[in-house]
Amino acid sequence: MDTTQTLEQYSAVMAELIDLGVRHGLSFLSAVAVLIIGSLMAKWLSRAVRTRLESIDKFDQTLTPILAQIVRYAVLVFTLILVLAEFGIQTTSIIAVLGAAGLAIGLALQGTLQNVSAGMMLLMLRPFHVGDYVDTGGGSGTVDEIGLFMTRMSTPQGLFVAVPNSQIWSSPITNYSKHPRRRLDLLIGISYDDDIDRAVTVFLELAKSDSRVLSDPAPIVVVKNLGESSVDLELRAWTARADYWNVRFEMTRAVKIACDQAGISIPYPHRQLVFTQLPK
């Protein structure tokens, strides 16, 4: 009799374990399927949003990367809630768990959250856009993308630079692409023996002969400094932003040629040594 009861109890326990394993096994497989599908959906929707926004001509492309990332993370969070629901966790419990987890993660990743908030401020205030050349506390280059956590740039040397958003937001930002015009300041040293007025005339004629130099404001030449070995003149001329570097490089070369033709010398630092013979 005891043996029969023992076998019945054993069979009941085994049946319960099998039923439990089947139920949780199916929940586990279902959760894995939901997780895989959700991850694929998040990636697909993010890519679709990015492609759609990039095809809109009037849409500011600065917003495209971060909106695509927001869609991706929103789908992943929704997927996580569905996975937890597969194991019988109630929605209120999920929200409570996510709230507690969010608080713990927020305390542990304060720097990361600062990057997110800084990225949102950069997108709202727009100190620069995608395609602008900027100089920030973390580096300089052409902005390729403003993300949730970092801003990606490319340097003129072809290097990739990733700067945390909080580092950009907490430092001065110089945007070289903000305005359509830039002023060229070219410092030229001439000898103290040269005629300043003649040098000024030569440099002004050189600037006015270049069609890329704007006539309004008109170019000017000022005496910037009286140096140790030269009188420093500064040619100030306005040009379109796209022409700035070409004008600067070509104007520097043209100044040297014009000085040679006009007999204006460009001195270099030198010292005069005087030897005296001490009395015996």
Which tens digits make up the pLDDT trace of 113-149?
788 788 888 888 888 888 899 998 778 899 998 887 8
Cis peptide bond upstream of 217, omega within 30: yes
**Which of 224, 225, 226 has the alpha carbon at shortest distance from 235?**
224
- Phi, psi dihedrals of residue 172, rounded to the nearest 5°: -60, 145
The confidence band for 1, taking pLDDT boundaries of 50, 70 and 90, is very low
- Phi, psi dihedrals of residue 143, rounded to the nearest 5°: -70, 120
Residue whose structure tokens are 């570097």: 245
* pTM of the predicted model as reported, rounded to 2 decimal places: 0.61
> Is residue 70 pLDDT above 90, yes or no?
no
> Is residue 236 pLDDT above 80, yes or no?
yes
> Is residue 16 pLDDT above 70, yes or no?
no
The mean of the pLDDT values for the chain is 80
> Is residue 108 pLDDT above 50, yes or no?
no
pLDDT score at 147 = 81
The confidence band for 37, taking pLDDT boundaries of 50, 70 and 90, is confident
Which structural domains are found in the chain, ordered by start?
A: 2-108 (1.10.287.1260), 128-175 (2.30.30.60), 181-262 (3.30.70.100)
Q: How far apart are CA 137 and CA 153, in angstroms?
A: 13
Sheet architecture: strand order including 139-146: 160-164, 150-154, 139-146, 133-136, 174-175
Residue whose structure tokens are 């630092």: 269
Radius of gyration, alpha carbons of the chain: 35
Number of neighbours of residue 68 by Cβ within 10 angstroms:
20
Q: How far apart are CA 105 and CA 101, in angstroms?
A: 6
Residues listed for the chain: 280
Rounded to the nearest 10°, the torsion over CA 56, 181, 153, 58 is: -10
- The DSSP H or E segment spanning 93 is helix 91-108
